[in-house]
Amino acid sequence: MDPATCVPNKGAVCFENGYMGCVLMNAYYCVTYGESIVEGQPRDRDLADMGKKVFRSYFDHGFTSRGWVVELWYQPESSNPPNDALSAVYTIRRQAEAAHALLLFSGHERMMSRKSAANEKKVEMLLKNIIELQRVDGSFPRAFDADSVVLDPDIGGSSFVVPALAHAFRLFDNVMYREVMTKSAYCIITQIIEQDAYAAGGLDSNCPDKDSAIAAAVAMWYLAGITYYEQIRRHYLQTAVRAAQFALSYFMLWDIPFVPGHALAQLGFKSRGWGICSVENNHINSLVFEFLDVLRWVSRETEDSKYAEFAEVIKSSTQDQLLPREGRMYGVAQVGYHPAIVQHSFWDYGRGAKGHVSQNNFFGAPVASLWRMLEQREFGFPTNQVDHMREQKACLLVPEE
């Protein structure tokens, strides 16, 4: 949408389950935040109900007959391409991100004594479909059709599958998911991290990008969390450090000087801590998701404070600078629509919009990323859940003490 109007562009996507939209992950945050207890009462019942409606809709209407999750949906009156053509292509990143959010929601429902066997069966079918795409080297293809016929064999999206597998391992207490994770580690380490081949994480380009490097580091973090053996865990740590260093090379260490009169100059916008999207897409965004927890973990394990210090730079710079609110709308039409993309150079698909919020923006992923960034998690799980699982010995999450 154009931030100046916050009205969807004609023919634009109304929702997307992952990637730029993150509809399901945001719904999960609505439910968990809304149902958290404050002074004996749920914090926000309306917000929780909103999130539940999203999941109810997806579980009722959001799965194909073969068990894939519907990834995109366009405005019916201006559908381009038409919605009945969207089933032609599916992506491993969106399917894995959907599975991740659905697993988190299913775990929350269990904790609230609202387990749904029918819903969990659909999640297990989705995971089965994903796993069947795994190749001998542990990789997953980037895109495929409804019949799981590979359309794009690029391995760049393989790292995005690991968080979903880790949460499936925890939720269903099935070692098969851990084995699939371990198999994927071979591909991620040897073909992505050791080759510095962090590409194809973005679904609109084939060049090296920040998201792919972050996903590889996050995958190593999850794998370290389900590993008993210290030697293997240290190897995952070393490869996580390498991936994190590559990802950090995309982040700004300085504040870009904007010409007086530019919108961002007038707002006093500080670019330090924001990351360039990719080699091709020369604009900056605030998307980091679980990366800061990885950086803090790396600092603790290596006793090198610079990673945790950089995490604080990213956090302090991205959490509220462009959050539209009364008195500081940043040129955005509505309160709460945090823009994803900022133009720090004259490159803007030919428009030369340096110093402005991009005219083509998305708003779902920034909310999901910022929310996740502000959480404190241990190997992808809320610390209270990790403590509970340790007590119950429900599954293998962290090395033996």
Residue 4 lies in a domain: no
Contact 244, 251 (CB under 8 A): no
Order of strands, sheet of 275-276, starting from the edge strand that comes earlier in the sequence: 275-276, 284-285, 341-343, 356-357
Q: How far out from the chain centre does Cα 33 lie?
A: 18
225-283 residue pLDDT tens: 999 899 999 999 999 999 999 999 999 998 988 778 777 888 788 889 999 888 777 78
Q: How confident is the model at residue 394 (pLDDT cuts 50, 70, 90)?
A: very low
C-alpha angle 266/272/276, rounded to 5°?
A: 100
3-state SS class at 90 = strand
Closest CA to 288 of 211, 197, 380, 376: 211
Give yes or no for residue 114 having a pLDDT over 70: yes
138 pLDDT above the threshold of 80: yes
What confidence score (pLDDT) does residue 331 get? 80
Poorest-pLDDT segment among 125-134, 284-293, 345-354: 345-354
Number of H helices, E strands in the chain: 13, 13
Q: Does residue 400 register a pLDDT over 50?
A: no
What was the pLDDT predicted at 398? 42
> Which range among 49-63, 108-122, 281-295 shows the weakest confidence by mean pLDDT?
281-295
Q: Say if 372 falls within a structural domain.
A: yes
Residue 75's pLDDT is what? 59
pLDDT at 395 over 50: no
Is the pLDDT confidence value at 153 over 70? Answer: yes
Instruction: Give pLDDT, residue 393.
Output: 47
More reliable by pLDDT, 393 or 225? 225
Residue 353 has pLDDT above 70, yes or no: no
Residue with the larger pLDDT of the pair 25 and 319: 25
Average pLDDT, rounded, for the chain: 87
Dihedrals phi, psi of 174, to nearest 5 degrees = -125, 115
| Residue 398 located in a structural domain | no
User: Across 4-8, 313-317, 331-335, which has the greatest mean pLDDT?
Assistant: 313-317
- CATH value at residue 78: 1.50.10.10
Task: Kindly tell me if the per-residue pLDDT of 117 is higher than 80.
Answer: yes
For residue 397, the model assigns a pLDDT of 47
Q: Are strands 150-152 and 356-357 parallel, antiparallel or unpaired?
A: unpaired
Task: Tell me the pLDDT tens digit for each residue of 188-224.
Answer: 999 999 999 998 777 767 888 999 999 999 999 999 9
**pLDDT value at 86 more than 90:** no
Q: Which domain holds residue 41?
A: 13-392
Mean pLDDT of the 382-401 span: 51
Q: Is 200 contained in some domain?
A: yes
Per-residue pLDDT, averaged over 56-68, amounts to 94
Pairwise CA distance, residues 246 & 241, whole Å: 9
Say whether 275 sits in a helix, a strand or coil: strand
**For residues 73 and 369, which has the higher predicted lDDT (pLDDT)?**
369
Q: How far apart are CA 275 and CA 343, in angstroms?
A: 12
Torsion of CA 193, 197, 198, 199, to 10 degrees: -150
Query: ∠258-353-325 over CA atoms, to 5°?
Result: 75
Q: Which residue has the higher pLDDT, 232 or 339?
A: 232
The count of domains in the chain is 1
Residue 324: the pLDDT is: 87
- Considering the domain boundaries, does residue 8 fall inside one? no
Q: How far apart are CA 279 and CA 245, in angstroms?
A: 16
Residue 401 lies in a domain: no
In a domain? residue 193 = yes
**pLDDT digits 0-9 by tens, 354-372:** 666 777 788 899 999 999 9
